[in-house]
Amino acid sequence: MTTHRSIVAVALVCSAAGSAGCNPKVAKGDGYSIPIPAGWKISHGDVQLPPHALALRQKNRANKDFMIASVVFVPVTPTTPPFDPTSVSMCKQVGEAEAKPGSVTVQSTAIIDGPTGKTCQTDLLTSAGKQASLATFVKLPASMWVVTCNRDPRDQEAAKACEEVLQGIKAG
């Protein structure tokens, strides 16, 4: 897998009303683009990200008791043996590696019909039940990424936004 220097750009769609009507609609990285759902924004500096990663976050909590949800797009570092996102056993291993006894449990691991084909998806939940993390691997022509949706499990608005991002991933 080749590592590319990533530059994140934002395509702006502006209304005829002028700059007050401008809102980022798409975030573009090296070899991909993702939609920015309504009520979400690119996260600039409020989370520590590895190189080439991109994060989106809700502008406001859906409920005062919910966490601010996020979607994080992180490159997968090449492994030996190579990670196969279509392997049931590898997917299960990924889920188990993310689990932490007493604090994070695996709700499910599965091979799903992802945005770019069959792929691994893991669903984790904190023991307090306040944070769910849904991680989906996305294989693009020149790279692989993991898209992690972090939200309160009761936040259906964030779940819909995550699905919008996953379905809207485009290579190129």
Integer Cα distance of 72 and 135 in angstroms: 9
Number of domains in the chain: 1
Would you state the pLDDT for residue 23? Answer: 57
Q: Is residue 97 part of a domain?
A: yes
Top-confidence residue, 161 or 5: 161
Strand partners, 125: 105, 132
CATH number of domain containing 154: 3.40.1000.10
Q: What is the CA radius of gyration of the chain?
A: 16
Q: What is the pLDDT of residues 83-139, one digit of tens each?
A: 999 999 999 999 999 988 889 999 999 999 998 999 999 999 998 889 999 999 999
Claim: this prediction has a pTM higher than 0.85: no
Mean predicted lDDT score pLDDT of the chain: 84
Would you state the pLDDT for residue 121? Answer: 97
- Would you give the DSSP letter of residue 26? E
Would you state the pLDDT for residue 102? Answer: 81
Q: Is residue 96 part of a domain?
A: yes
Domain interval for residue 71: 9-171
Top-confidence residue, 38 or 32: 38
Q: Is residue 3 part of a domain?
A: no
Q: What is the pLDDT of residues 150-163, one digit of tens each?
A: 999 999 999 999 99
Q: Is residue 2 part of a domain?
A: no
Residue 69, φ and ψ in degrees, nearest 5: -75, 155
Q: Is residue 1 part of a domain?
A: no
Q: Is residue 160 part of a domain?
A: yes
Task: Tell me what percent of the residues of the chain surpass a pLDDT of 90.
Answer: 59
Q: Is residue 4 part of a domain?
A: no
